[in-house]
Structure 1
Amino acid sequence: MTSRTVFVDELTKVNRKLRAMFDARVKTQGLTLARARLLMHLAKQEGTTQSELAELLQVEQPSMVGLIDAMEKKGFVIRRAVEGDRRSKGIFLTEAARREADTILAYADELRQQVMVGIDEAELEIATRVLKQVARNIGAAA
């Protein structure tokens, strides 16, 4: 096997394991991975529109509408008209959702610390440059 093959295989495994760890944790809070990701994003940038969220979270627009509808019914988000564009609605967290999001963000930070133990800062910078180039290559190929 070439080093490129091994790298992509390892990258795939790491991604799958990280998602599984995160998913298992948010399930203990009664959330799905998709709902947790939405809460995390909105905790950092409230007022994002449905279409922006769909693009950022890489889900289809109808799926995002359903996800937001479900979160609205649970009392986690509210829609508000975007200033200057009455057709667009910004999505905002409720207080209950903000507490959930804070817990999820804290866990995500804890997970990052846990999985990065023993990795030298210089190696991490190189790995980050490599991953950014891989992402650019994927974008160019798509």
Structure 2
Amino acid sequence: MEEKYSLNKYASIINRFSMQFFDHELSDSQIGAGQYFFLARISEQQGLTAQELAAKGHFDKATATRALQRLEELSYIRREADKNDKRKCRFYTTPKAKPIVESVYAAVEQWNSILKHGMSESEVAVATRMMAQMAKNAYGYISSLIEGDKDGKSSNL
């Protein structure tokens, strides 16, 4: 018999252990699981705004703002006012960030290796597709709830 909450249970376990792993692996850099995503995205695409970063990771604006403030305090990123819209700030990595970004990528690769241990390439591909679909389902449902709240309507999904 299928366990009633098995998908949620295992997703939660993996998420908690992921956070612990990244906090441990990145402890020398003074960043944790909450900031590494933002640093990596800025490194990959210099000049992103806080709103663009939040959207890329499906984070709320407050979470993005806190992570960016921490990275800025550590001098891993810098902000510049947008040339066309002074209300927007664009973020760029600093030279100090380069070894940290390399550590982030190494940690991500190591964690992915740990998660895939004992699985064939085809099993990894299937698991990846299934998790991507579950993430898409979750995003779609929550987005519709938020949109429904904005309109004062309740969702019947």
Give the TM-score category using the shorter length: 0.7 to 0.9
Higher relative contact order, structure no. (Cα contacts within 8 Å, ≥ 6 residues apart): 1
Query: TM-score, normalized by length of structure 2?
Result: 0.75
Q: For residues 10 and 67 of structure 1, do their structure 2 counterparts lie closer, same or farther at Cα, with a shift above 3 Å needed?
A: closer
2:95 corresponds to which residue?
Answer: 95
SS in 1 for 2:29: coil
Q: Does 1:47 align with 2:42?
A: no
Alignment of 1:81-120 (within 5 A): 81-120=81-120
1:124 corresponds to which residue?
Answer: 124
Between Structure 1 and Structure 2, which shows a larger proportion of strand residues? 1
Identity of aligned residues (%): 20
Query: TM-score, normalized by length of structure 1?
Result: 0.82
Structure 1 counterpart of 2:78, which letter? I
Question: What per-residue deviation string (whole Å, max 9, x for no partner) do you get for residues 3-62 of structure 1?
Answer: 673233222212221221112211233223222222122122221101222333444434
C-alpha contact 2:48 2:91 (8 A) present in aligned 1: yes
Alignment of 1:1-142 (within 5 A): 1-2=1-2, 5-142=5-142
Q: 5+ unaligned residues in a row in structure 2: which ranges? A: 143-157
Offset at residue 118 of structure 1 (A): 1.9
The alignment yields a C-alpha RMSD, in angstroms, of 2.3
Q: For residues 65 and 11 of structure 1, do their structure 2 counterparts lie closer, same or farther at Cα, with a shift above 3 Å needed?
A: closer
Q: 5+ unaligned residues in a row in structure 1: which ranges? A: none
